Amino acid sequence: MVGVVLWLAAAGLAAGGRDAWDALGEAELRAAYGAFAEAADLYQELASSLPDEDPARARALYEAGRLYRHLGRPTDAVASFDACVRIRAWRAACLAERTEVELDRSAVSALPVRWTFDDTEHGLVHPPQLEAGALRIAAPPGETDPSLGWSTELPAGGTDELQIAWRGGLRPRTVSLRLKTGGDQAALQWTAIDLDGRRFTSPAFPVGTAWSELRWNLDTLTDAQGGHLQPSALYRLVLEQRAESPSERILWLDDLVIE
């Protein structure tokens, strides 16, 4: 780390410009030779030495975050991506990477799992780049048992989703949950993404204002050609909702079980 700081000081990077891009190249070279921690710290120190408007700063924050994620340092990765999202041109890319950090941290590593949503210890992630919705733990109106509240504000044809990530080697067979809507009827669908990027979907299902308990066999999800999901190849499980007309609603989820 001391060597990184001395290198930056010698380069005189406070002024930005060509020296900053030379430093980016140096960090990229170190990463290419496997010195990931050194490269990440070089990117981070470079970002700290540059003004917000310097385009090299956003690139440095983005690359630092990706390397920190690779190194298993999620707190450092999140700090880099949170700084990066404030730079408009890089906002989408950094939000997408930040989502991956959250999915890494919450990935299912053993079966079965049951989330009762009495606290925030669950594996459902709302991608921050999808700014139409938000999650909170609360009791639905008139009830005392906490659930997961998923609020959305969608235009006609708009979509929102929650994602669940997986560690390798698991063979989930079924997923079940209780859910209801706090307003207009909603239409939801499960989408499974396998390790090859293929997408397998369930039929759309309606959700009304009374609690319903629903259960799916994951190997019945199909792709566009009619092929069935192989649960051992599952990479992401996504709960999607689509609005046929402009809508503002909250969905309540409880007792999600995967086994």
pLDDT of 17 reads 63
pTM: 0.81
114 vs 92: CA distance, rounded Å: 32
202 vs 180: CA distance, rounded Å: 18
pLDDT of 74 reads 92
pLDDT of 9 reads 42
Sorted by where each starts, the structural domains of the chain and their CATH numbers stand as 2-106 (1.25.40.10), 113-258 (2.60.120.260)
For residue 112, whether the previous peptide bond is cis, meaning omega lies within 30 degrees of 0, is: yes
Tens digit of pLDDT per residue, the chain (259 long)?
444 443 444 444 444 567 778 888 888 889 889 899 999 999 999 888 888 888 889 999 999 999 999 999 999 999 999 998 888 888 889 999 999 998 998 999 999 999 999 999 999 999 876 667 789 999 999 999 999 999 988 877 778 899 999 887 788 999 999 999 887 778 899 999 999 999 999 998 888 899 999 999 999 999 999 999 998 899 999 999 887 777 788 999 999 999 9
Place of tokens 């890089």: 90
pLDDT of 23 reads 82
pLDDT of 185 reads 75
